[in-house]
Amino acid sequence: DSGVTQTPKHLITATGQRVTLRCSPRSGDLSVYWYQQSLDQGLQFLIQYYNGEERAKGNILERFSAQQFPDLHSELNLSSLELGDSALYFCASSSQTGLRNYGYTFGSGTRLTVV
């Protein structure tokens, strides 16, 4: 157990629907990062939060949004789902941000299948 908890582990939903992925960072970590891994692609950075504030954004679609709550857990909301959104979504946490980030602790991922 890495200490980063992601739920659910698996999700199957229909096109056009909306889902919420949840992440609880390792205790003491203030930064949360969301990554997407599609078939045959590397981990693609989506968005980063630090202590409740958005710090960096990657190629995140407008249909996707995220937030980090006061208790530091984060949610990634995916709406108007398309078949191409099927992927493994990872959450990672770290204690610092910026240049003081010396590495991530990853959750086990949420496997999203859009049918």
Binding positions for other proteins, rule: CB under 8 A: 2, 4, 31, 33, 35, 40-45, 48, 50, 55-56, 58-59, 90, 94, 96-109
Nearer to other proteins, 81 or 92 (CB): 92
The answer to whether 74 and 55 are in contact (CB under 8 A) is no
Closest Cα partner for 114 from 3, 4, 11?
A: 11
Q: C-beta of 54: minimal distance to other proteins in Å?
A: 11
Nearer to other proteins, 1 or 62 (CB): 1
- Dihedral of CA atoms 108, 32, 71, 1 in degrees, nearest 10, equals 30
Nearer to other proteins, 2 or 80 (CB): 2
Residues 14 and 30: their CA atoms lie apart, in Å, by 33
Q: C-beta of 107: minimal distance to other proteins in Å?
A: 6
Nearer to other proteins, 83 or 102 (CB): 102
The answer to whether 56 and 48 are in contact (CB under 8 A) is yes
Q: C-beta of 17: minimal distance to other proteins in Å?
A: 26
Residues 5 and 73: their CA atoms lie apart, in Å, by 9
